[in-house]
Structure 1
Amino acid sequence: MIAERYRARAEAFEAKVANVRSDQWGNPSPCAQWTALEVVDHVIDMHGVMLGHPIERTEDPLTDFREARRQVQAALESDRATTEVSTPAGPMTLEDHVDQVVSDDLVLHGWDLARATGQDETIPATDVERLWATATAVPADLMERFRTPGAFGPGIEVYGAEIAVPPDAPLQDRLLGYVGRDPMSKNP
């Protein structure tokens, strides 16, 4: 289940990366102070964090993401998937860590990349529901830490400050507002 969820999310993210025009990499993203390229770089970096080593880079973000994806998918399909790893949230299996961090990042940062580059911003309803349930279940003290820049390391901010969204807005918009994105803002 986790490997399949990762595969589907990585496939969707890769399609977005593949559709970025060369003149769009410098576009601002909904992630404060990140360009479209920096969003992809962050996702690749987080794949390396999951694997315990950096992903080698080329000059092509699509090639780099494909390699990061290949390595994580291989780990998820190996005995390594059930190996316990140390995480900021405590020990868990590698597959659970991937599922809770990088797999969810693919969804949210996929939206960021789509917004930055004028692509389809629709998040699959099952992902919206799952991420909403996960995010809103986080205890208030931990959510405060998630919203504090640098709490999990230099340059790491799990969620931004909550953005007010009308209570009758679609669940995707409420999710995005809750995790610090403004779904009502316009594309760059």
Structure 2
Amino acid sequence: MDRYSPVELLALFQRAQALFTDRVDAVDPDQWEDEALPGWTVADLVAHLVGEHLWAPPLLAGEPYTDIHVADDIATLLGADPFTGWETAADGSLAAFAEDDALTRTVHLQRGPTPATQYVLEMTADLTVHSWDLARATGGDPRLDRELVDAALVLAEQLPDDGVPGFFDPPLAVPTSADAQTRLLARFGRKDD
């Protein structure tokens, strides 16, 4: 994690949140049940990220993942207005990561103790890749911010060659000459058209 300072990581996280927020804001009311990923609707995808961001404040406060209870049903996570549900969760996680010493802490994830800098990089990569998923599902602009792509590639290069079952699909083969966005998406099992 020496590639980015805590200040740079926080700025990247904030940009990734803004990118995803723009994509959520662009969802038309009749698109929430459209497929975003195999087995996931647009609502499922946004609810997934709402849940992820609701986990961040208690994790950064030192609570182990086993003690944190976040709703897992879409209706509760998104509420009456999915955009407001997303923004509320995003604001809470950004505030938690922005606390003075937040990125010097260790969070206790299911896989074990993890430096907060690694955790914020993972959240940034998740937001970046899912911004592409959401744009593709709703007919939005699938181009991603190059700096976010580069940061997400740092995480992607840490993934096992067969993916992470239940979390990340195995990577797809792409030419070594492929651009950074194509390489990133392929690393997460997605094909950039």
Q: Structure 2-normalised TM-score?
A: 0.78
Query: How many residues end up aligned between the 2 structures?
Result: 170
Equivalent pair of 1:50/1:94 in contact (CA under 8 Å): no
- In structure 1, the partner of 2:113 is 91
- In structure 2, the partner of 1:154 is none
Residue 18 (structure 2) aligned to one of 5, 11, 35? 11
- In structure 1, the partner of 2:124 is 103
1:145-184 matches, cutoff 5 A: 146-149=163-166, 157=167, 159-184=168-193
What are structure 2's unaligned runs of at least 5 residues? 1-6, 59-67
Q: Structure 1-normalised TM-score?
A: 0.80
Bigger fraction of residues in strand:
2
Residue 154 (structure 2) aligned to one of 133, 137, 140? 133
Give structure 1 regions of 4+ aligned residues with deviation exceeding 6 angstroms. none
Deviation per CA, 1:94-116, whole angstroms, max 9, x where unpaired? Answer: 4542x132222110100000000
Cα distance in 1 for residues equivalent to 2:22 and 2:131: 10
Cα distance in 1 for residues equivalent to 2:116 and 2:176: 36
Equivalent pair of 2:31/2:138 in contact (CA under 8 Å): yes
- In structure 1, the partner of 2:83 is 62
Residue 37 (structure 1) aligned to one of 19, 43, 65? 43
- What RMSD in Å do the two structures reach over aligned CA positions? 2.1
What are structure 1's unaligned runs of at least 5 residues? 150-156
- In structure 2, the partner of 1:116 is 137
Cα distance in 2 for residues equivalent to 1:161 and 1:17: 27
Identical columns (%): 28
In the superposition, relative to structure 1, how do residues 92 and 128 fare at CA in structure 2: closer, same or farther (>3 Å)?
Answer: same
